[in-house]
Amino acid sequence: MCRMNEETQKPTVLSLSREHNPTQYEERMRIQKAGGNVRDGRVLGVLEVSRSLGDGQFKRCGVINIPDVKRCPLTDNDRFVLLACDGLFKAFSAEEAVNFILSQVQDESAQAEEDPGDMDTSYESACHRLANEAVRRGAADNVTILIVQIQH
């Protein structure tokens, strides 16, 4: 989540989840308990994540679809939530992605002065540009991105 600092007006990134990686101890233990294994940092030597909505063939090996998330009360300084799969984060850190989105939204807002209230298209455009930039930077994995604008 992107939260703006009141004093500096710079973004702070609040992580509302953690990486679901099979090399993390708790994740590896769950996978092994279910009869799977972790080889070369991947479930069965193939899948790089330990939690997934898809990848049905790995569910019998301990891959689950329940994310590890945190609750966070919203404030007036919150701008958006970025939901993305691991493909984005092969090319961007969370901070880089948030700064990229903010720069795109601010650029579009400055150009569309006739209708500054229409932020939906700005965020939609930022979402497309972020995905394209991740692919341009070499992300070869799935790059799925959703930006949820927080309106007050």
Q: Are residues 85 and 130 in the same domain?
A: yes
Instruction: Tell me whether residue 144 is in a domain.
Output: yes
Could you tell me if residue 66 is inside a domain? no
| Predicted local distance difference test score (pLDDT) of residue 68 | 85
**pLDDT at res. 126:** 95
Please check whether residue 50 is in contact with residue 27, taking contact to mean a CB–CB distance below 8 angstroms: yes
Q: What is the pLDDT of residue 106?
A: 85
Residues of the domain holding 145: 2-15+73-149
- Give the mean pLDDT per block of 10 residues along the chain (152 residues): 93 91 95 96 95 91 91 94 92 96 82 64 94 94 92 81
Residue 80 counted as domain residue = yes
Reported as a single tens digit per residue, the pLDDT across 23-62 is 999 999 999 999 999 999 999 999 999 998 888 999 999 9
Two tokens, residue 81: 């939530």
Q: Is 20 within a domain? A: no
Q: Specify the number of domains making up the chain.
A: 2
Assess whether 11 and 29 both reside in one domain.
Answer: no
Phi, psi of 111 (to 5 degrees): -80, -30
140 in a domain, yes or no? Answer: yes
